[in-house]
Amino acid sequence: MRALQCLLRGAALLTMLVVPSSSWGETMVPVRGKIFNNLMEDGRTLGVVALNLADKKIKCAIVGDPLPPDADFAVKFVHTVVCEDHSQVSFLTQGNITGLLQVCSPDFAAFSFLEVSTPDLSRPSKGLFEGITGGSLTITGTVNCQFEVDMTFEGYAVFP
């Protein structure tokens, strides 16, 4: 019996350390979806998002403005999302290339990547995202030889 109690306490402690926390009175809302966009000549991305925010399904547009890479992250963007109901939110997205898929030309290779996005609280949010105070999305994706970017994401948003 004592071993079971120790095991359960250890599991509870591990859960508290691993599960993202929010302040008292805040709600963590599940978020998931798919993004389909294209890489433009200037490095920006432009596309669409099929978003599931808790029990709401909504279609959105997305623009990605590139940021300079740094020693930790090869891929960095500010993503702005505007939805069909005019809801708006921006994210700081950082990630790295996880694999080369195909050599497309001497100057470009298709690749896979992993990113993490967090709400950019310095930029406006409204509608479904009004009052957002935090959160995190894990994004996996690929860029093909036609500069098409396909992604899936899952995570949570924090609201008061």
pTM score of the predicted model: 0.82
**Which is more confidently placed, 100 or 23?**
100
The pLDDT of residue 8 is above 60:
no
> In the prediction, which pLDDT does 153 show?
98
Give buried/exposed letters for 5-26 (b at 16+ CB in 10 A, else e): eeeeeeeeeeeeeeeeeeeeee
CB atoms near residue 124 (< 10 Å): 11
Q: What is the mean pLDDT of residues 34-47?
A: 97
pLDDT at 24: 64
Q: Looking at 24-28, 70-74, 83-87, which range is the least confident one?
A: 24-28
pLDDT at 14: 34
Rounded to whole angstroms, how far apart are CA atoms 55 and 62? 21
How do residues 84-100 score in pLDDT, each as one tens digit?
Answer: 999 999 999 999 999 99
Domain ranges of the chain: 23-159
As a whole number of angstroms, the distance between CA 60 and CA 160 comes to: 23
